[in-house]
Structure 1
């Protein structure tokens, strides 16, 4: 199913995001995770695209396996980093020939050691340009793009960030998937601002369940999102107890997700970190039961 079709009928769109593992043991853990999660019938499983395009081939391979072996729709992440227009089109052609019908179009982060994004010679500078490239060459592709409820860290102003998102939508994006957040008020304000700006695509909240305090601290240090003081306090009090941290994170995610559902979100996108236990607990608590198939 194309991203453009998922949210049209009013059906809630659950999606999960994984990343290419670095070794065979990681592959085995990932597919155990996916076998668990695809039983909840996600609208799609998305696979990230490593820094500098380092896993670009693996992304296609994993998406192909997800579709053929697990019978679940895949969405491939795709960035501008380190590639000319011709190389980008070649990658898209390869993805299309592998049966991938959805792309998550992202600018990508600057290569390690660089503070600003510099496009390759003959390459693209913005995600909106990547969306345009996809639409011009593969008009049938479903396209998702990123949104930032708490503003992209490189944006000069919140208004500039919103204008950039509008360019991605106007270029042909089908849906917006947000960066992770833990305070739903940021999402609600972001949704309102998008509506006022004429952005009329489905906005899907991105959720990352907390399973370990130190790990989420590292992630939060890179994405400039608010970490609610009450949640931090509970996690710090349990910093020597991994099981307690897990329970706190799952409990918080269930409450956060239920509030978002009550607020009428069209779906949810889970950053699962290649693990299934927390998401299974959350999905069951929210009434998204496993299929017997």
Structure 2
């Protein structure tokens, strides 16, 4: 069985980081990814770096996919950004509400990702394949699980083609989310976002900040390894490989890896799955 994969990077902040990311991409291209997405900092703080990295990926012969967040943006700035993406040969966008840098009010002409999806469709028709965020464990700012599901469905009704989830370690949460969508008549593919485990404290900090649940047994095992980096990476690869296998066996359409601009952990999981 052929498994479709996509990879996510963030824009490097230094020339050294850019060189390192180029080397990482070359290793990961061996996986033949369907596309490589590039994040867009809070309030668009990395927007030039996002576009530069996407252009490089396109120049390397792969589909470069920018993230585009709308909070704090105007219709004119989004319109200009869409034109830049078209000029760069971009065919896909990950359309997000996004977070503002701390200290900012809401601002801008968009409140929700569904507003951004509607605007992109009005401006560019079907030129872009639009992916949007999904939250199997419920967005931390959602009023309720039902409200969160409604928000995802609103993005689909506005014209989104696919969902990509926040990372998670509980496959049941993903399957329940998809089941709830199907029950509502929504057949949009939802791709699981996969976070390799390489660093215990970093993972727990990330997860606490974004509302992703790390199961108690995983958290306890990670903490028991202390500073044993090799043990953390081996255990992490076991956990994530088992998760991916269950997701694929259960019908997940593909896998989207949050690489954190590294190659080793993603390659190891896919090697264990028999994909790499």
TM class by shorter-chain length?
over 0.9
Instruction: Provide the residue aligned with 1:167 in structure 2.
Output: 154
Count of aligned pairs = 275
Alignment pair present for 1:211 and 2:198: yes
Deviation of 1:111 after TM superposition, in Å, equals: 2.0
SS at match of 1:75: strand
Distance in 2 of aligned mates of 1:86 and 1:240: 49
Post-superposition offset of 1:218: 1.3
Pairing partner for 1:17 from 8, 30, 42: 8
Q: Secondary structure at the match of 1:46?
A: strand
Q: Are the counterparts in 2 of residues 47 and 74 from structure 1 also a CA contact under 8 Å? A: yes
User: Paired residue for 1:41, among 32, 37, 49?
Assistant: 32
Q: Contact conserved, 1:80 with 1:119, CA < 8 A, in 2?
A: no
Q: Is residue 11–residue 266 contact of structure 1 (8 Å, CA) maintained in 2? A: no
Instruction: State the partner residue of 1:72.
Output: 62
Q: For 2:77 and 2:18, how far apart are their aligned partners in 1?
A: 27
Counterpart of 1:105 in structure 2 is 95
CA distance in 1, matches of 2:69, 2:138: 19
- Separation in 1, partners of 2:118, 2:274: 38
Instruction: Give, in angstroms, the shift of residue 11 of structure 1.
Output: 6.0
Aligned to 1:81: 71
Q: Which residue of 2 aligns with 1:136?
A: 122
Runs (5+) with no aligned partner, structure 2: none
Aligned Cα root-mean-square deviation (Å): 1.3
- Separation in 1, partners of 2:269, 2:244: 9
Confirm whether residue 187 of structure 1 aligns to residue 174 of structure 2. yes
Give the TM-score normalised by structure 2.
0.96
The structure 1 segments of at least 4 consecutive aligned residues displaced by more than 3 Å after TM superposition are: none
**1:119 CA displacement:** 3.1
Q: Give the aligned partner of residue 274 of structure 2.
A: 287
The aligned residue for residue 254 of structure 2 is: 267
Equivalent residue, structure 2, for 1:90: 80
Residue 67 of structure 1 and its aligned partner are, at CA, apart by 1.1
Distance between the aligned counterparts of 1:160 and 1:213, measured in 2?
Answer: 32
Contact kept in structure 1, 2:200 and 2:222, CA below 8 Å? yes
| 2:50 maps to 1:26 | no
Q: Which residue of 2 aligns with 1:6?
A: none
- Counterpart of 2:106 in structure 1 is 118
User: 1:87 Cα deviation (Å)?
Assistant: 1.1
How far apart, in 1, do the equivalents of 2:58 and 2:257 lie? 19
How far apart, in 2, do the equivalents of 1:203 and 1:228 lie?
22
How far does the alpha carbon of each residue in 1:225-254 deviate from its partner, in whole angstroms, 9 at most, with x for none?
Answer: 221111111111102211111111111111
